[in-house]
């Protein structure tokens, strides 16, 4: 019986000792956990401070960049104004130059118009002269048509050459030859009398008229 009681006491003591040891261990674990939490908390605070410092620095940098951008924008704005002023001045210069050129062109156009009118007048006058000369040549040929035919296709008195088909230079040379006696055959005497009354201009116009048959 005594042995049983002693055993019981020993076992109880052992259990009590084990219980005390477990409680102490739990307390130590709790302390370690709290310490770990404190460390983590401090690390978190430190990280937060670092983040805040980075954000603050970034904010300051952003402000600096914004200021520089604004200053650059002002510079560019001034440069744009200067360029705009120069463009406007150049546009005015070009406008004045265009006006001057337009005036010169208008003056030149008037000059050309006047010259054209003068030329048209001369052409009209020349045309009338040619028309008159042609009419006169036709009238002159009336005296020739009796022997040479209305279109110069006959041999005058059956003796001369057929004049139709000759060019004006050949006819003019022949008529001048008859006039000065340096040209002609069987009809030389008759032709000399016919052309002696003609001027050089008459002969030229008559030769031109006959060459057109």
Confidence band of 3 (pLDDT split at 50, 70, 90) = very low
What whole-number distance in Å separates Cα of residue 16 and Cα of residue 6? 15
For 81-213, CATH gives 1.10.760.10
Residue 21: predicted pLDDT: 56
Q: How big is the CA angle at 106 (ends 104 and 112), to the nearest 5 degrees? A: 100
- Predicted confidence (pLDDT) per residue in 92-116, tens digit: 888 888 888 888 888 888 878 878 7
On the question of pLDDT at 53 being above 70, the answer is: yes
140-147's contacts with Cβ under 8 Å and 24+ in sequence apart are 140/198, 140/202, 140/205, 140/206, 140/209, 141/206, 141/209, 141/210, 143/194, 144/194, 144/206, 144/210
CB-based burial label for 174 (10 Å; 0-12, 13-18, 19+): buried
pLDDT for residue 175: 93
Distance CA 103, CA 105 (A): 5
DSSP 198: -
Q: How far apart are CA 152 and CA 72, in angstroms?
A: 99
Q: What's the mean per-residue pLDDT of the chain?
A: 79
> CA 78, CA 24: separation in Å to the nearest integer?
80
Q: Is the confidence at residue 83, as pLDDT, over 90?
A: no
What is the rounded CA–CA span in Å between residue 26 and residue 24? Answer: 5
Q: What pLDDT score was predicted for residue 104?
A: 84
Determine the Cα–Cα distance for residues 131 and 188; give it in Å rounded to an integer. Answer: 31
Residues 177-191, mean pLDDT to the nearest whole number: 89
The C-alpha atoms of residue 132 and residue 129 are separated, in whole angstroms, by: 5
Q: What percent of the chain has pLDDT over 70?
A: 81
List the domain boundaries for the chain: 81-213
pTM of the model: 0.40
């Amino acid at each position: 019986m005594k042995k049983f009681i002693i055993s019981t006491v020993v076992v109880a003591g052992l259990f009590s000792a084990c219980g005390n040891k477990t409680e102490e261990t739990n307390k130590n674990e709790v302390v370690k956990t709290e310490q770990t939490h404190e460390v983590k908390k401090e690390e978190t605070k430190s990280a937060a401070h670092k983040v805040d410092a980075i954000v603050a620095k970034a904010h300051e940098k952003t402000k600096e960049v914004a200021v520089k951008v604004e200053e650059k924008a002002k510079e560019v704005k001034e440069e744009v104004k200067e360029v705009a002023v120069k463009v406007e001045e150049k546009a005015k210069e070009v406008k004045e130059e265009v006006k001057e050129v337009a005036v010169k062109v208008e003056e030149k156009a008037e000059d050309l118009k006047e010259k054209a009118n003068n030329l048209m007048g001369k052409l009209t006058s020349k045309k009338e002269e040619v028309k008159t000369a042609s009419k006169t040549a036709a009238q002159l040929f009336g005296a020739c048509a009796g022997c040479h035919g209305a279109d110069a296709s006959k041999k005058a008195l059956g003796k001369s050459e057929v004049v139709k088909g000759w060019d004006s230079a050949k006819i003019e040379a022949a008529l001048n030859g008859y006039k000065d006696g340096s040209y002609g055959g069987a009809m030389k005497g008759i032709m000399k009398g016919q052309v002696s009354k003609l001027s050089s201009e008459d002969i030229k116009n008559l030769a031109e008229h006959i060459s057109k048959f």
